[in-house]
Structure 1
Amino acid sequence: MRLFTKFTIITLLVFGFLVSFEYNGDKALAAPKGSTIGNVSIENLSKEEMKKQLNAAVDTWQSSEILIMVGEKEILLTGEDFKFDINASIRQYELSIEKPWYAFWEKKRIVHESLIVEANPTLKEKIENQTNLKDENLITQILEAASYLKSSPIKVAVKDISIDQAERISFETIALSESQTAEISKIVAQLNGFIIEPENEVSFNELIANASNNESVMTIVASALYSSVVQSSFEILERHQANEIPTYVNPGYEAVVNPIFKKDLRFVSHSKVPAKIVATVNSGELKIELYSLRGNPKVSVFEEDKKNVKPRTIYRYSSYLEEGEREIAQQSESGLQLVIYRTVTNDDGNEKTELISQNYYAPQNEIIELSSKQTPVDLNSASGEEVSEECNEDDTSDVCKPTTTKRKKATKSKNGSPVPEGSYYTETGDIVTPGDSK
């Protein structure tokens, strides 16, 4: 019994020594190789050494130029805009490496902690004044970069733009049918609120992925967006014209999309500030608006060389029609051609006019079908209506010269007796028979 008691006492003493060795002393905080606070290595440093190293690193960072990039807008900050708490940062590190008393044998893990930093009022004032945004997310991104003492320029992304603080640079509206509203609303839900970052390519098909597979309604939404983009300074990288003159939007402002056939609407903003897409469906109307922070150039869009394209008349023979009959197989519709330009005026007054698109919508030719059941006649005769297969009635080419002459076939004479095959009536009502010299 005494032996057991002695063994227990010795064990407790050894255990207590090990625990004391682990947790006591200035070197207890010493971090393993690779550990950092902020971007400062704290490997094998005591608490006091950590404090010195961190204070020195923060002083160096605060005394340097601190440049923030919001999109392409540059904002210059100073060290006085930030308040670092070194003691709290070390306490945060202590908590992260703390181990249960009974796990004294476990090795210390590598730790990467951030510095604790707050924004002084001057920081918020500078960001709001120079971006016209009251966006807490911007401040959060800047403080996160500061907590790791990141080098300038520090780039931050705008997650949202308040319409109250931005200006509308363009818009387009399209009337919808009742059958289109539900599916277009699904597409609009994915499009609405998207932030267009400077120099980041935007793909319509990627933005609305899986929202719809209906080419017709996708094209309507893409056309509204394209029309808005044309009215901005954004560069259009890809756009596909419709084959026929569109009825849902002005000709030249439509954009056909089809992910299966790799038809997309793509564009990119070269502005220094971000923009926002606002898409809504209300009272049977689709509206797409582009809002931007101040800094976008002024844009004016104009059209030139707009004119109708006259259709042709095509004659075609048909064996299904009786002799002398004709039918209109296809009604004519005029085509259209136009060129769209825009002029971009920068803040310094410099203007640049650029070609946006050349649009050609082919006309629909009138097709008239004639009976092929007609009697062959002398090609040198010149009476009746002249027609030529697949020729314009105004065409004078050799291919389209008259090849047949329509004449009424005669089967009986005036007294009712039969006449030879190939006989026909003249314009005066006389009967001409083969070999007759009349």
Structure 2
Amino acid sequence: MKSSLKVCLFAILLVVFVYIVYPTNLSYANSENGQSTIGGIVVDGLKSEGMKAKIQEAVNQWTSEPITVSGAGAIINLQAAAIQFDIDGTIATYEQMTKRSWLTFWKSKRVVQLPLQIADSELLKVEIEKVKVWETDSTYKKVLAQAANLASHEIEADVKNMNVLDYERIALEIQPIPDNVAGLSNLVTVLNEQAVNPGQVFSLVEALGTEIDRANNETLDFVASMLYSIALKTNSEIYERASQNSVPSYLEPGIEATVTRNGSKDLKFLNMMDYAMQLKFTMEAGNLKAEAYGPANKQNVGIQVTRDYEISPRVIIRYSKDLPAGSEQLIEEGQAGFRVSVIRYSAEEPKGELISKDYYVPTHRVVLKSSKESEAEVSESLNYPLTNKPQLDLNGDGLADYDNGEEQQLRFPQDEKDLPKGSYYDKGGNLVTP
């Protein structure tokens, strides 16, 4: 009886000892699949060398792709290969945790899920820190956590509260929305709250993505022009910009811009500041307001548009038999053409930096005249000898036209339908005969 009591007491003490040494809430936690993993890689049943080879292969594959971190409109790609994994150290920890002593022979094998041990990477931290609208430390920890578990390469950054940042509006442009735009609200939604990182080249075509097909050409040009004006005022370096070569109803010549859907013409600029620049686009009371926010702009950027010279328009005369004799009608009012230079002044360029020279072709004055001669014109024409009449080479032989050796009175056809086959009036009002 005493012997049985001693055995029972020993068993109870042994169980108490095991529970003290190996707490149940930590030692044998169950996973969803009941398998042990390192960095998400199943390693059950593998010895050290096999375990290392399998994990190394997974690490090599994971580090072959960049880590994409995004937030508040900013996106950066980090080199996953810059992360140093301590595979040997992780395996040693795993073996220590799963090692069973003779006291636990009666329990099932311990199931653990270990993240890979990785070293701190100042390189990654510095890259994250460049985006001033992000919380550096918490975002950095997210990157390391994803890497330690060989998880997704897509990471959402922790964004700072913009209200507590020392940000202010550094550029503003407001223009009435033209009547012929379509799909403007779609583009505004995409561009609003976009962040341009320091040292980042911003591409309008890339930023709009597939939304570029939801707006017409007039809308694309309008938005590009507004953004170009903002880029100039923030002292951004202009990488690419194409002129419309015509004066729109908004902004002034030299400030407008155009883009194409296929990217053959794009608006690109580089954020030269040390801080991220945030764009804001809003539609208010028939106007489009474009803004840029950033740290206090101490450069006092100024833009000057100078008209270098003007070119007078030509007068194009067209004829119609439907107008009364001697009458004329103004079809289009002419406008002078000109070339402008855009110069930007800043603390870095106090003498001015030439940004662009744009040429805008003149709009010719078009007048429609009657093809019927008035009685006064006919009477006046009879007073001139035939030799003074205009002689026209209609047959293309290089000589004036004659009929049976007799000089004929020739006059220019007044209506284009009366011209010889293949002939036409050019934009300058000159008759062209093949």
TM-score normalised over the length of structure 1: 0.53
For residues 294 and 311 of structure 2, what CA distance do their matches in structure 1 show? 39
Q: CA shift at 1:146, angstroms? A: 6.5
Number of residue equivalences: 291
Distance change in 2, residues 1:235/1:185 (3 Å): same
Moved more, 331-340 or 284-293: 331-340
Identify if the C-alpha distance between structure 1 residues 367 and 261 changes in structure 2 by more than 3 Å, giving closer, same or farther.
farther
The superposition leaves residues 52-77 of structure 1 with CA deviations (integer Å, 9 ceiling, x where unpaired) of xxxxxxxxxxxxxxxxxxxxxxxxxx
Counterpart residue number, 1:162: 162
Partners of 2:179 and 2:203 in 1: how far apart? Answer: 28
Query: 1:340-391, CA deviations, whole angstroms, 9 ceiling, x for partnerless residues?
Result: 1102324xxx64632122222222222223334444546579xxxxx9xxxx
Deviation at 1:220, TM superposition (A): 1.5
* Matched AA of 1:196: V
The answer for the alignment partner of 1:362 in structure 2 is 361
Task: State how far apart, in whole Å, the 2-side matches of 1:337 and 1:161 are.
Answer: 46
* 1:219 counterpart residue number: 221
Q: Tell me the CA shift for residue 132 of structure 1.
A: 11
Shift of 1:259: 0.8
SS in 2 for 1:345: coil
Equivalent residue in structure 2 for 1:267, among 256, 266, 269: 269
Residue 160 and residue 281 in structure 1: after superposition, are their counterparts in 2 closer, same or farther (change >3 A)?
farther
Would you say the 8 A contact 1:273–1:294 is kept in 2? no
Give the alignment partner of residue 230 of structure 1, picking from 207, 232, 257.
Answer: 232
SS at 2:303's partner residue? Answer: strand
Aligned partners of 1:169 and 1:176: how far apart in 2?
22
Matches within 5 A, 1:29-428: 31=48, 32-34=51-53, 35=55, 39-42=85-88, 46-47=92-93, 113-114=116-117, 135-136=134-135, 138-144=136-142, 162=162, 164-176=165-177, 183-211=183-211, 212-260=214-262, 262-293=264-295, 297-305=299-307, 309-346=311-348, 351=350, 353-374=352-373, 375=378, 376-377=381-382
> 1:293 corresponds to which letter in structure 2?
P
SS of alignment partner, residue 333 of structure 1? coil
SS in 2 for 1:210: helix
Shift of 1:161: 7.6
In the TM superposition, residue 255 of structure 1 has moved relative to its aligned partner by 1.4
Q: Residues 369 and 144 (structure 1 numbering): CA distance in 2 closer, same or farther, change over 3 Å? A: closer
1:143 is paired with a residue whose SS is helix
State the shift of 1:288 in Å.
1.0
**What's the secondary structure of 2:249's corresponding residue?**
coil
Q: Is the 8 A contact 1:299 1:342 kept in 2?
A: yes
Structure 2's unaligned 5+ residue stretches are 1-35, 37-44, 60-83, 101-106, 149-155, 391-409, 413-434
Give SS of 1:228's match.
helix
Contact 1:326 1:370 in 2 (8 A): yes
Q: Shift of residue 234 of structure 1?
A: 1.4
* Larger Cα-atom Rg: 1
CA distance in 2, matches of 1:48, 1:314: 89
Letter in 2 for 1:33: K
For the structure 1 residues 404 and 29, does the alpha-carbon distance in structure 2 shift closer, same or farther, using more than 3 Å as the test? closer
Offset at residue 41 of structure 1 (A): 2.6
Q: Which amino acid aligns with 1:170?
A: A
Aligned partners of 1:49 and 1:261: how far apart in 2?
A: 56
- The RMSD of aligned alpha carbons is 4.8
Residue 314 of structure 1 deviates from its aligned partner by 3.0
Distance in 1 of aligned mates of 2:332 and 2:191: 40
Task: Report if aligned partners of 1:238, 1:266 keep a CA contact under 8 Å in 2.
Answer: yes
Q: CA deviation at 1:294?
A: 5.3
Distance across 2 between alignment mates of 1:364 and 1:48: 80
Secondary structure of the 1:220 match is helix
* 1:272–1:296 CA contact under 8 A, matched in 2: no
1:192 CA displacement: 0.9
Q: Deviations over 1:213-238 (max 9, x none)?
A: 31112222221111111112212222
More deviation, 279-288/306-315: 306-315
Shift, 1:145, TM fit: 6.0
Does structure 2 retain, via aligned residues, the 8 Å contact 1:178–1:284?
no
Cα distance in 1 between the residues matched to 2:210 and 2:93: 55
Contact 2:132 2:275 in 1 (8 A): no
Contact 2:173 2:291 in 1 (8 A): yes
Please report how far the alpha carbon of residue 167 of structure 1 lies from its aligned counterpart in structure 2 after TM superposition: 2.8
